[in-house]
Chain A
Amino acid sequence: MRAVSTGRGREAPIQYGLALLTVVLVAAPLIPILYQAVIDRPLYDSGQQFTLNNFVELAGTGEFITVLINTFLFAIATTVIAQVLGTGAAVLIGRTDMPYARLIGEMFLWPIYVSALILSFGWYAMYGPSGYLTLLLSPVFEESPWDLYTLTGMAVMAGVSLAPVAFLYCTASAGIADPALEEAARVSGAGTMRTLVRITLPLLKPAIFYSAVLNFTVALELLSIPLVFGGPANIEVLSTFLLRNVIGVRQSGQGTVATAAVFLLVIVCVLVWLQARLLGNTRRYETLGGKATRPRPFALNALRIPAFLLACTYLLFAVMLPLGTLILRAFTSFLSPLVPVSEVLTFDNFTGLLAFDVAHRSIVNSFLISIIGGALATLLVASIAIVCHRSEFPFRKALQYIALFPRAVPGVVAGLGFFYALTMIPGIGGIRNTIWIMIIAFTMHLIPAGFGAVAPILLQISPDLDRAARVKGADWLTTSRRIVLPLMKPALVACYTILFIAFFKEYSTAMFLFAPGSEVIGTTQLNLWTGGEMGQAAALAAIQIAVIGTCVGVARTVFGVRLYG
């Protein structure tokens, strides 16, 4: 009996179709920007001439030079702060007998779940000019001892927000995972400090360096903190420069704006290439999690309690109090140490949000985008991953490269690119007023994030399992549907959760794109904030924190999926 054939080669149209879709999705925002950068007038005008004038003009602007200097200073300071905090925490939490190390480690990760935007709101509510702690200390100090509206202030906030990345990479690296190396040093007579300085930290070097490049890249393109704090203080970085000049409707300037975007794109491309090189030199895939038994930790002895207090103080002042104050602010009409909280408690911020149709719509939109878009993106990412890793598709290597390319495309650049694309292609402008433009843009921007969740698990599934199905008469499509996809279920749950959260807090891509009908929580938050509606912005942030917290909790307890290590 011959195997029942279910149509010969039906995988080809699917694989080529998927590859084409991916190419279109990734190229859609990039081509308009590259094109705009080399023509002499806006994309939508006729009679365009090719020119290199935009580059000359941009380089000649003193303003742009200042922007560049600011951007790099901000990114460098942010990276240094994030690496110091992250590495220190990794050693303390991962390698010492500090009490409650596990719990502190979990809490250290909190900033990674909420967006930098929310964390910066929290810092504002706590340390801003009229922040709770600033006011509390105003009788003591004549002038506030800190100022968030400076490059340093912004870098500290960004550093706290990015420290978990350094922490995760250091914790996962061999320096901490393999205790034998340290034990060997101790057996040969090295004391605690000497082992730490001579063995542990050098072993962490690749992890520190790799995550530094990663954080530097994120800091370069960060929009939220510079927008909230840099704007009022006239400190402009590349991302805010782009936003101001595009939204600021300077028609003649589109060429230079696009050129600036290309500039940012090129820098980030180089950095991402560097990341890939570094990762290639260490390990292809970091296995987060490590061994079941914790290695024998360093004894801190007398420093045990001081180290614990130090860690608690950091968590309290950098993460918990800002977020707590922000949530409290959402439930009060006014927050000041001079007025008892009980007198100002109210739900007005939330009822106000519901009454304000833009805010109301943006909440609904964010949910729809995350639920529907997250599902569609998960399906797309899973299909791409299966084709890349489990098919004989001739261009699978190229497909993977293209699918991962958005890593090198900053959110602001992607947003700008889709914005241009909409003006370029006639007749699709209407999509700007629907959630679909956000779903498309977010999906493009976040393919690599989803891919990172799916691919390692897919690689762990033995290829024999799909080979067995093939030999038993299933073609590629049936094998993928009946064998590979069901086995990927944990990966799909993780991917959907990660994408849901990422879609829910995404704003940098949306800032260029949103129009009446396609507002999301992030854009409304920023608008409320700039409009002085602190309470409602805090209420939106509280909703966001609640939703993300629920997602992380459910993913962990119900599905047993641990996000981010």
Chain B
Amino acid sequence: MAELILTNLLRRFGPVIAVNGISLTVADGEFVSLLGPSGCGKSTTLAAIAGLDRPDGGRIQLGPHTFYDSDSGLFVPPERRNCGLVFQSYALWPHMTVRQNVAFPLDLRKIKGAEAQRRIEEVLSLVEMVSFTDRYPHQLSGGQQQRVALARTLVYQPELLLLDEPLSNLDAKLRDRARAWLAELRHRLKLTTIYVTHDQIEALALSDRVVVMNGGNIAQIGTPQEIYEDPADPFVADFIGTMNFLKGEAEADAAGGATARMRLPDGGVVQARAHGPLRRGDRLTLALRPEQLRVGSEAAGAGGTSVSAKVVTSAYVGGAYQVAYATAGGTMRLDQPMPPDGEVTTLWVPDDGGILFRETT
């Protein structure tokens, strides 16, 4: 019913292209995160969907309604889109109490009296804020403000829920709790939701699908598993989770998806799945998750290769040691339960763990 379709969405700020003609379809009831570093265009995309910013080209549709169409010059103002947007700053109106904040959107829709009362009670109990109805925003903690902001958005039953880094203003502990609460809430609401964040853990934990953005383009769209386990390029690989990169060159031609061999500068050879077709002599990058590596020759097993490594730094980070090893192909970082035993050791690289990307010049 409320399916969101972006087609070739384009937004420029002077010479800078903030959103470079992206297309995206979000299914009804789907929870999709826009993830990326600051300046990647995720917030601009969100503002365009909400109607706060007018794009320079493309089309935005929600269900049967077209919000924006550059061909016909159609631009629906934000107040006529019936979207719900929770701001990063919450944007609670400081001159209104919690109840007045929540009642305002109902008032605009001429919903008054008992029906308004019922809805306000319902939404405030949903966010567990019933006992704070007569407080002013400045009398609430950050987490409480965030809940009120969400209640104010849910009360008028928007067709599309837009969340702009709603957890980023909370401290670390509160953020974990709020994330768990949000994850539970989303299963109850089943609203089509766009969630903008630069925090990969939030994106992976909450989303049906994640859209990774980079420099105004979509780098990859996929489920959290796909994004994590099969990144489309080194940028995505690096951005999601912790990733180690080894550099070398292709020993032989290989088809995309096939196992290929990469020669390290010191002559050592490692194996991994090629992301795309490779030619002999191509400069390659091997992306490896730290948890796939094993330290020391005794830990090595079949189906992998050992490369020699030297300890560069070691730091105790509480419960584990974060150690950086220099290898011929580059520095590898990983967490291990025990401090490194000696300066020189080997790292075991499994054949089926990493992904080989061809370096683009």
Residues of A within 8 A of B (CB): 1-6, 8, 462, 464-465, 467-475, 478-479, 482-483, 486-487, 489
Let me know if A467 and B82 touch, CB within 8 A.
no
Among B102-110, B211-219, B264-272, the stretch in contact with A: B102-110
Q: Which residues of A contact B87 (CB under 8 A)?
A: 464, 467-468
Let me know if A2 and B82 touch, CB within 8 A.
yes
Q: How many A-B residue pairs have CB under 8 A?
A: 86
Let me know if B79 and A471 touch, CB within 8 A.
yes
Q: Which residues of B contact A471 (CB under 8 A)?
A: 50-52, 78-79, 81, 83-85, 162
Given A462-B89, A464-B89, A482-B104, answer yes or no on A473-B94 (Cβ-Cβ < 8 Å).
no
Let me know if B77 and A475 touch, CB within 8 A.
yes
Let me know if B156 and A473 touch, CB within 8 A.
yes
Let me know if A468 and B93 touch, CB within 8 A.
yes
Q: Which residues of B contact A8 (CB under 8 A)?
A: 80
Given A465-B93, A471-B51, A472-B105, answer yes or no on A4-B110 (Cβ-Cβ < 8 Å).
yes
Q: Which residues of A contact B117 (CB under 8 A)?
A: none
Interface check B95, CB cutoff 8 A: yes
Let me know if A473 and B109 touch, CB within 8 A.
yes
Q: Closest CB-CB distance, B224 to chain A, in whole Å?
A: 28
Given A478-B108, A482-B104, answer yes or no on A470-B91 (Cβ-Cβ < 8 Å).
no
Interface check B346, CB cutoff 8 A: no
Interface check B157, CB cutoff 8 A: yes
Let me know if B93 and A473 touch, CB within 8 A.
no
Q: Which residues of A contact B51 (CB under 8 A)?
A: 470-471
Let me know if B80 and A5 touch, CB within 8 A.
yes
Let me know if B91 and A3 touch, CB within 8 A.
no
Total residues of chain B contacting the partner, CB 8 A: 29
Most buried by B among A3, A462, A469, A487: A3
Given A3-B82, A3-B109, A5-B80, answer yes or no on A470-B93 (Cβ-Cβ < 8 Å).
no
Q: Which residues of A contact B83 (CB under 8 A)?
A: 471
Given A468-B87, A486-B95, answer yes or no on A1-B109 (Cβ-Cβ < 8 Å).
yes
Q: Which residues of B contact A467 (CB under 8 A)?
A: 50, 52, 78, 85, 87, 91
Q: List residues 57-93 of chain B with CB under 8 A from any CB of chain A.
A: 77-85, 87-89, 91, 93
Interface check B153, CB cutoff 8 A: yes
Let me know if B81 and A1 touch, CB within 8 A.
no
Let me know if A487 and B104 touch, CB within 8 A.
no
Q: List 12 A-B residue pairs with CB atoms under 8 Å apart, sorted by A's residue number.
A: A3-B81, A3-B82, A3-B156, A4-B108, A4-B110, A467-B50, A468-B87, A471-B50, A471-B51, A472-B79, A472-B104, A478-B108
18 further contact pairs, Cβ within 8 A, besides A1-B156, A467-B78, A487-B95: A2-B80, A3-B80, A3-B81, A3-B82, A3-B108, A3-B109, A3-B156, A6-B108, A464-B87, A467-B91, A468-B87, A468-B93, A471-B51, A472-B108, A473-B79, A474-B104, A478-B79, A486-B95
Instruction: For the complex, give the distance between the alpha carbons of A482 and B79 in Å.
Output: 14
Let me know if B52 and A472 touch, CB within 8 A.
no
Let me know if A475 and B79 touch, CB within 8 A.
yes
Q: Which residue of A lies closest to B54 (CB)?
A: A392
Q: Which residue of A lies closest to B82 (CB)?
A: A3
Interface check B152, CB cutoff 8 A: yes
Q: Closest CB-CB distance, B238 to chain A, in whole Å?
A: 32
Instruction: For the complex, give the distance between the alpha carbons of A479 and B77 in Å.
Output: 13
Let me know if B91 and A468 touch, CB within 8 A.
yes
Instruction: For the complex, give the distance between the alpha carbons of A478 and B107 in Å.
Output: 11
Let me know if A1 and B89 touch, CB within 8 A.
no
Given A4-B110, A465-B93, A467-B87, answer yes or no on A474-B79 (Cβ-Cβ < 8 Å).
yes
Q: Closest CB-CB distance, B101 to chain A, in whole Å?
A: 9
Q: Which residue of A lies closest to B87 (CB)?
A: A464
Instruction: For the complex, give the distance between the alpha carbons of A465 and B156 in Å.
Output: 18
Let me know if A474 and B108 touch, CB within 8 A.
yes
Q: Closest CB-CB distance, B60 to chain A, in whole Å?
A: 14
Instruction: For the complex, give the distance between the alpha carbons of A482 and B95 in Å.
Output: 10
Q: Which residues of A contact B91 (CB under 8 A)?
A: 462, 464-465, 467-468
Q: Which residues of A contact B89 (CB under 8 A)?
A: 462, 464
Instruction: For the complex, give the distance between the alpha carbons of A23 and B93 in Å.
Output: 33
Let me know if B93 and A483 touch, CB within 8 A.
yes
Which single member of A3, A6, A487, A489 contacts B93 (CB below 8 Å)?
A: A487
Instruction: For the complex, give the distance between the alpha carbons of A6 and B51 in Å.
Output: 17
Instruction: For the complex, give the distance between the alpha carbons of A8 and B81 in Å.
Output: 13
Let me know if B82 and A473 touch, CB within 8 A.
yes
Q: Which residues of B contact A1 (CB under 8 A)?
A: 82, 109, 156-157
Q: Closest CB-CB distance, B47 to chain A, in whole Å?
A: 9
Q: Closest CB-CB distance, A475 to chain B, in whole Å?
A: 5
Q: Closest CB-CB distance, B1 to chain A, in whole Å?
A: 12
Let me know if A469 and B104 touch, CB within 8 A.
yes
Q: Which residues of B contact A483 (CB under 8 A)?
A: 93
